[in-house]
Chains A and B, each alone.
Chain A
Amino acid sequence: MTQAEIKLCSLLLQEHFGEIVEKIGTYLIRTGTQPLRMIVSDTGLSLDQVKKALCVLIQHNLVTYQLQKRGFVEYEAQCKRVLRILRYPRYIYTAKTLYNDTGELIVEELLLNGKMTMSAVVRKVADRLTETMEDGKTMDYADVSNTFVRLADTHFVQRCPLVPEAAETPEVPPPPAPTLVVNEKDMYAVPKLNLIGKGKRRRSCDEEENREHKAKKQKQDGEGAEPPPDDGIYWQVNIDRFHQHFRDQGIVSAVANRMDQTSSEIVRTMLRMSEVTTSSSAPYTQPLSSNEIFRSLPAGYNIVKQVLDQYLTLLADDPLEFVGKSGDSGGGMYIVNLHKALASLATATLESIVEERFGSRCARIFRLLLRKKHLEQKQVEDFAMIPAKEAKDMLYKMLSENFVSLQEIPKTPDHAPSRTFYLYTVNILSSARMLLHRCYKSVANLIERRQYETKENKRLLEKSQRVEAILASMQATGAEDVQLQEIEEMITAPERQQLENLKRNVNKIDASENQVDETIFVLESFIESTLKKP
């Protein structure tokens, strides 16, 4: 774990869970696997606090535990998983585009709570949706359930590992920490629930008081009646599936940029067909025959079979090599070359960074080196058609920033500099790692700046909150307009402007964090895919 990663994790934990959880989380990330006693003694917090914090972390899948052979339990923080907190907005947004507001809220609730039962999710989401609807309308539980089932079918949500139902013999005491297992087949099986009901709207003040008694009575009855039918079956968000989706999105948009809309639709169809058949870390998808692809094209696209074949051939011959032909049966078997696609995306990201940082001529040299692998100084000048002095300057600048490295090839055994070849080369994997580290630090910087901006204006924010509270209470008690206006004027115009600025800045920094996270995703996927290759 690099310093930048640890810093970013601690910032994220602090922002989402508070000081105490942050302290314990950071301690675990920094020192690795630790038992409970060590955590208590090293962090200086009370046992109770540590226990609660660990509960929170485990609930959110940020910390795992393991029973050691000697009989005590050790806790380990998952640094990578903590970094995913940065990507929560992207997950929620994707769910929204695929399954509308219902899907969005389901995913949001699951992310905020870590693990939940289906009935709890459905109830909560229905309540929230009812709030936003017009007066008199409510959200039916059935709709929410349907969306939930669809999310489970497409593997976006999955079941959490359970305590195995082992027959407990009286002699053997239950182990201090249960070992959770998950049955592969059941991971996406939705329990048969009969959820009937509608969302409840949270009424405004006076009505609520009348209802409170009723509601309390109902609750007590309800609780005593029976536990929810799916007690013990918890669901969580399947992050890998979302990552697969982002990766597919990236590939499709790259094809659309390089070729045209139709080809990108064909690639999207191929990827959709391979969603559940190919594991997310495979280098290529399963072969698909051209007939299958033709049948699975979306309804709106009426292209003839021959045109589809032509497109497939074009895609397979393209220098991009995203699609490859693996056989001739069934009209031609085609695969999507996932690893190559990720490599191309990562390379394009690197080139984009070099171009923005150093200029388009440096980008030309960079791409030249990527193509030709190893080149001498003179050859770089000749191929790129850049005058010698400038080319030298650019190469040295990139060398100092570690985008480019030198390979020495001696002509004589004594390695004399005048008799050695010096070849420039680009190593994509190490450049990707270097830039990933830079991304982490950038996001940490952005978060810190955002917190600083908010802190600077804390006084003003508190004041505006007080004024709003006064306004709300006065409106409720029916104050006159004149009095309301007086209160509003407590915030002067420049102060209002300052608040506007603050809001705008915070939003800008937030958006920027998400954008850097996109870069992080591309680079991380590429590094993972390269390391997993046999």
Chain B
Amino acid sequence: MAEVKVKPEVPDPVDIENRIIELCHQFPHGITDQVIQNDMPHMEAQQRAMAINRLLSMGQLDLLRSNAGLLYRIKESQNASKMKGSDNQEKLVYQIIEDAGNKGIWSRDIRYKSNLPLTEINKILKNLESKKLIKAVKSVAASKKKVYMLYNLQPDRSVTGGAWYSDQDFESEFVEVLNQQCFKFLQSKVELSMEDIETILNTLIYDGKVEMTIIAAKEGTVGSVDGQMKLYRAVSPLIQPTGLVRTPCGLCPVFDDCHEGGEISPSNCIYMTEWLEF
């Protein structure tokens, strides 16, 4: 009888890769090295590693770390096509930015999470920005700080400041206009309960044009919070402009330098002269 030698099958590298991809599709959450080994027991570790590396560099697999070890996950096809030209580091940074969601993430935080040096990070960020994968959004909290988020995401309210900011600039005119409008609105009504623009109303209180009282209200009435309701009422000022500001001295910018016999004195005061001729 002739010896039948079972030639060990040298699996085709492409086959291995395809098999791994199939496995990944089977387990969309990711597969460990162990799973691949179980599936293809005759494959040598070196071959396995080579295939995996190739898939990673081609951008078809995602490398993740879990408590079981390393996980390989199939990457979405559109993302895969996007990241074709990038290398691992860029992919890592992109991952971190993606995880930050719509709040964005600061460049220093990216550095901490990825352990990459600053120069590398900057290069990568510039790269990603030019590829239109991420964008920089200026934070309203600190104007020098830039947070990065995915290109198609809407920045969160805490970053842009909400309704009062447009293009990172405080919309003072907008606030001013609303201020006037609210005041006019309140002047024409006797008592009114408001909730949505409480902050604007508070500024009117600080202007001394409006006062607020809190009354007990039944639960369920419109605008009541915890059994209380805030009422606003337009008021007129307590006193007329006081005497001191009706004289030039009350508003004089050089008041402290003025004394009789000096360069600035009551006798030659130009503000007084103008005021007397009025």
Interface set, chain A 498-514, CB cutoff 8 A to B: 505, 508-509, 512, 514
A517, closest chain B residue (CB): B243
Chain A neighbourhood of B239, CB < 8 A: 250, 253-254, 257, 345, 348-349, 352
* CB <8 Å contact, A356 and B206: no
Please, what's the 1-or-0 string for A411-450, where 1 marks a CB less than 8 Å from any CB in chain B? 0000000000000000000000001001101100110110
A348, closest chain B residue (CB): B238
Chain A neighbourhood of B200, CB < 8 A: 385
Chain A neighbourhood of B241, CB < 8 A: 352, 355-356
B161 to chain A, nearest CB (A): 10
Q: Which of A383, A442, A508 is the one whose CB lies under 8 Å from B250?
A: A442
Please, what's the 1-or-0 string for B221-262, where 1 marks a CB less than 8 Å from any CB in chain A? 000000000000001111101111111011100010010100
* CB <8 Å contact, B242 and A388: no
Please, what's the 1-or-0 string for A356-371, where 1 marks a CB less than 8 Å from any CB in chain B? 1100100111011001
Please, what's the 1-or-0 string for A319-350, where 1 marks a CB less than 8 Å from any CB in chain B? 11000000000000000000000001100110
Given A367-B207, A388-B170, A446-B266, A439:B244 Cβ within 8 A = yes
Chain B neighbourhood of A388, CB < 8 A: 170
- Whether, in the assembled complex, A20 has its beta carbon less than 8 Å from a beta carbon of chain B, the answer is no
Interface set, chain B 162-188, CB cutoff 8 A to A: 164, 170, 172, 175, 179
Please, what's the 1-or-0 string for B91-128, where 1 marks a CB less than 8 Å from any CB in chain A? 00000000000000000000000000000000000000
Chain B neighbourhood of A254, CB < 8 A: 238-239
- Whether, in the assembled complex, B50 has its beta carbon less than 8 Å from a beta carbon of chain A, the answer is no
Chain A neighbourhood of B250, CB < 8 A: 353, 356-357, 438, 442, 516
- Whether, in the assembled complex, B47 has its beta carbon less than 8 Å from a beta carbon of chain A, the answer is no
- Whether, in the assembled complex, A452 has its beta carbon less than 8 Å from a beta carbon of chain B, the answer is yes
Interface size on A (CB < 8 Å)? Answer: 53
Q: Which of B206, B266, B272 is the one whose CB lies under 8 Å from A383?
A: B206
A118 to chain B, nearest CB (A): 35
- Whether, in the assembled complex, A379 has its beta carbon less than 8 Å from a beta carbon of chain B, the answer is no
- Whether, in the assembled complex, B13 has its beta carbon less than 8 Å from a beta carbon of chain A, the answer is no
Which of B208, B236, B241 has the most chain A CB atoms inside 10 A of its CB?
A: B208
Given A258-B238, A387-B170, A508-B276, A452:B267 Cβ within 8 A = yes
* CB <8 Å contact, B245 and A384: no
Chain B neighbourhood of A125, CB < 8 A: none
- Whether, in the assembled complex, A518 has its beta carbon less than 8 Å from a beta carbon of chain B, the answer is yes
B64 to chain A, nearest CB (A): 40
- Whether, in the assembled complex, B199 has its beta carbon less than 8 Å from a beta carbon of chain A, the answer is yes
CA A519 to CA B203, docked complex, whole Å? 27
* CB <8 Å contact, B242 and A512: no
B275, closest chain A residue (CB): A508
A360, closest chain B residue (CB): B207
B141 to chain A, nearest CB (A): 9
- Whether, in the assembled complex, A218 has its beta carbon less than 8 Å from a beta carbon of chain B, the answer is no
Chain B neighbourhood of A438, CB < 8 A: 244, 249-250, 255
* CB <8 Å contact, B170 and A383: no
Chain B neighbourhood of A258, CB < 8 A: 235-236, 238
CA A439 to CA B244, docked complex, whole Å? 7
CA A452 to CA B267, docked complex, whole Å? 6
A514, closest chain B residue (CB): B243
Chain A neighbourhood of B193, CB < 8 A: none
B211, closest chain A residue (CB): A319
Chain A neighbourhood of B245, CB < 8 A: 352-353, 356-357
- Whether, in the assembled complex, A239 has its beta carbon less than 8 Å from a beta carbon of chain B, the answer is no
CA A202 to CA B232, docked complex, whole Å? 65
CA A516 to CA B249, docked complex, whole Å? 10
* CB <8 Å contact, B249 and A445: yes
- Whether, in the assembled complex, B152 has its beta carbon less than 8 Å from a beta carbon of chain A, the answer is no
* CB <8 Å contact, A445 and B266: yes
CA A345 to CA B243, docked complex, whole Å? 13
* CB <8 Å contact, B258 and A445: yes
Which of A353, A371, A445, A508 has the most chain B CB atoms inside 10 A of its CB?
A: A445
- Whether, in the assembled complex, B70 has its beta carbon less than 8 Å from a beta carbon of chain A, the answer is no
Interface set, chain B 195-225, CB cutoff 8 A to A: 199-200, 202-203, 205-208, 211-213
A350, closest chain B residue (CB): B242
A345, closest chain B residue (CB): B239
CA A258 to CA B238, docked complex, whole Å? 6
Q: Which of A319, A353, A448 is the one whose CB lies under 8 Å from B242?
A: A353
Q: Which of A371, A390, A449 is the one whose CB lies under 8 Å from B267?
A: A449
A522, closest chain B residue (CB): B242
* CB <8 Å contact, B170 and A448: no
- Whether, in the assembled complex, A74 has its beta carbon less than 8 Å from a beta carbon of chain B, the answer is no
Chain A neighbourhood of B202, CB < 8 A: 383
B164 to chain A, nearest CB (A): 7
Chain B neighbourhood of A360, CB < 8 A: 207
Chain B neighbourhood of A387, CB < 8 A: 170, 172
Chain B neighbourhood of A344, CB < 8 A: 238
Interface set, chain A 362-412, CB cutoff 8 A to B: 363-365, 367-368, 371, 383-388, 390
- Whether, in the assembled complex, B269 has its beta carbon less than 8 Å from a beta carbon of chain A, the answer is yes
B239, closest chain A residue (CB): A348
Given A258-B238, A449-B269, A386:B247 Cβ within 8 A = no
* CB <8 Å contact, A515 and B255: no
Which of B246, B249, B265, B267 has the most chain A CB atoms inside 10 A of its CB?
A: B249
B160 to chain A, nearest CB (A): 15
* CB <8 Å contact, B208 and A363: yes
CA A319 to CA B208, docked complex, whole Å? 13
B200, closest chain A residue (CB): A385
CA A383 to CA B164, docked complex, whole Å? 13
A347, closest chain B residue (CB): B238
A434 to chain B, nearest CB (A): 12
CA A345 to CA B240, docked complex, whole Å? 11
Please, what's the 1-or-0 string for A143-165, where 1 marks a CB less than 8 Å from any CB in chain B? 00000000000000000000000
List A residues at the B interface (Cβ < 8 Å).
250, 253-254, 257-258, 317, 319-320, 344-345, 348-349, 351-353, 355-357, 360, 363-365, 367-368, 371, 383-388, 390, 435, 438-439, 441-442, 445-446, 448-449, 452, 505, 508-509, 512, 514-519, 522
12 additional A-B pairs beyond A384-B206, A448-B260, beta carbons within 8 Å, are A254-B238, A317-B213, A352-B237, A356-B245, A357-B245, A357-B251, A364-B207, A367-B208, A435-B244, A446-B249, A515-B244, A517-B243
Across the A-B interface, the 8 shortest Cβ-Cβ residue pairs: A515-B243, A442-B249, A356-B245, A387-B170, A445-B266, A348-B238, A452-B267, A519-B243
List B residues at the A interface (Cβ < 8 Å).
164, 170, 172, 175, 179, 199-200, 202-203, 205-208, 211-213, 235-239, 241-247, 249-251, 255, 258, 260, 265-267, 269, 272, 276
8 CB-based A-B contacts, threshold 8 Å: A254-B239, A258-B235, A349-B239, A364-B207, A383-B203, A390-B172, A515-B244, A516-B244
